[in-house]
Structures are given as structure tokens and as C-alpha cells.
Amino acid sequence: MERHITLGEFIIQNQKDFPYAKGELSALLSSIRLAGKMVNQEINKAGLANIIGAAGVENVQGEAQQKLDVLANDMFISTLRKRGEICGLASEEMEEHIVFNDEIHSNARYVVLIDPLDGSSNIDVNVSVGTIFSIFRRVSEPGTPVTLEDFLQPGHKQVAAGYLVYGTSTMLVYTTGNGVHGFTYDPGIGSFFLSHPNMRVKENGKIYSINEGNYVHMPEGVKKYIKWCQELDPATNRPLTSRYIGSLVADFHRNLLKGGIYIYPKGTKAPKGKLRLLYECNPMAFLIEQAGGKASDGHTRIMDILPTELHERVPFFCGSSEMVDQAEAFLREYQD
């Protein structure tokens, strides 16, 4: 029987792609893997333990935090702090970034931005959720405290990004700029095994993912694109199929495997869109581009946007390249 390679083995084998990293990046990815296994364990027993439902507080975005939001955030911070690979961390759940200020961490060369539990409101109804992470090399001098500028870098500066999806099976999907690779967790052994090497998204897909309940608040170009997707045209494989879970990781993962487009536009209820550039859009954009797809805000490449604040929001169009191109064409034609 063929022996499958583990995530740890894969990371070590591909360490040569980072001659400047001296093993820190590999160790950092291993830390994220460990924290993900811990969060996965808690999610799997969420129906039995008192960790589902709202925590009774709001995060910096003014959104109700779920109990597992807080738990996942604490687990990733604790796990990453115990290692010496990063000098600071920013989380969607916290207003300010964290400075790891002791001697070991202040000499580290990486920072992590993380959405600890994307789609957490779906846990109560047993729908797939996930963790999204993004890794940058710091721009400040090693040995000094990490600064805000270390986090406010454009997405094309990322050295690694990925997500864990906690679903019928748990997967870790990541890129370090050399393709996208997916690993499935075997709970019996306690290891992630390479199951989806060199993942590629179709140039054109049959799925569009958007919350059509917000239709009246959407830009005219997006409305026209949705109608175009729904029209019957056998020559262009339309009408398309609408699939929207409401968990970015789950929607993105499905479209990556099957081909499609994910859209969260701006609207009167969310003037700049709902998704966060640093914690959600940048890492997903890095992944989709490495898989042969495209990500934009409807006009500009996501990874070329220079962030100005930790919790900046942007419209998000991501997926199969031809579908994103078509959506952008409608936005150009019907400018608001």
C-alpha cells in the first residue's frame, strides 16, 4: 500500500524553497498545524461541551463573539507564543496587534495575521468553519519591538498563507509561493497527510457564491452580473449554480476544488464590503493566485492594495480567473 507523506515531512522536504529562512518558517507552519489540531478537537466536541453559542461580548468589529472564537484565538496565541518564530501577531478578534517582546521573540523575523475561527456562527448548526492565516517577514529591525508597519504590508509581500477547514474531514491548505497543497487530517493517527498536491482552480466554473439576500444593497454591476449568471445560455454553460454557505473558508474551498467565484461586494449596509483585507482577503488571494485563479476588489488586484489599518475592509471577488474577469467587466460597464 502506498505510504502518504505527512505535512511535517512535506514541510521539511520543501524547506529548500526558503534558503533565507533557516528553518523558522517550517517551524512556524508546524506551530499552526498544532494549534489547528487543538481547535479541531474542541470543535468536534462542541455539541457536548458548553462552548457553543455567543460569548456575550463583541469583537473590535462590533460583531457578537462566539465562545469558540475566544477559545480558538487563545489557542493560536498560546501555541505561537511558546515558539520563537514570530515577533508579533494580529488577530481579527483583537483591536491591536500583540508584541512578543522578550529577547527570543524580538529577534524573530516573522509576523502572523489570523482569523482564528472564520464562520463561527455556523458551529451551532454543525456547518463547516475554518481558520485563515497569513505570514509576513517583518520590515522593522530584528531585535526591536514589532511595529504596526510590520502588519500593514500589501498581500504580495506574504511569504505563506493558508487555511484549515473543519468539516466532514479536516484539511489544511497552504501556499508558500510554490503552488497550493492540501493535507487531510487522520484523527486515528493524529497527523495531516498530503491528499491534494498542486491544487489548481478551473479557469471557468459553474458556481457563483454570493449572499443574494443583500441584492438590493449591491452595486448595479454586481446585480447585472448575477442576472447574467442566471440566464440560460448553453454556449457559455449558463445558468450557473448558486452555492453560498456563509463561511468564507467553506465557500472558498468548494470553489477551489470545483471552479467558481466568491463575491462579497460593497453595499449600503457594508460601504467597503464586509471582509477584512489582512485576515481574509489577502491570504485567500495568495492561495487562489497560486492555484491559477484571480482575486480583486472588483477593480484592483487584492494583493496590490496597501493597507492603512489592521481591520480594513474591502470588496472581494475571488475564484476562477475568467469568472472574476467577467464580473469586473460588469462593474466597469455599470459604474455607480
**Binding site, annotated residues for substrate:** 118-121, 211, 244, 274
> What cell numbers appear for 150 in the block?
510590520
Chain centre distance of CA 35: 16
Q: Which residues are annotated as part of the binding site for Mg(2+)?
A: 92, 115, 117-118, 280
Q: How far is CA 260 from CA 105, 165, 182, 286, in A?
A: 41, 18, 18, 16
Q: From its phi and psi, is residue 277 left (phi > 0), alpha (psi between -120 and 50) or beta?
A: alpha
CA angle 94, 95, 98 (to 5 degrees): 65
Contacts of 113 (CB under 8 A, 6+ apart): 89, 90, 91, 133, 134, 135, 136, 151, 278, 279, 282, 283
Q: Which residues are annotated as part of the binding site?
A: 92, 115, 117-121, 211, 244, 274, 280
Amino acid of residue 31 = S
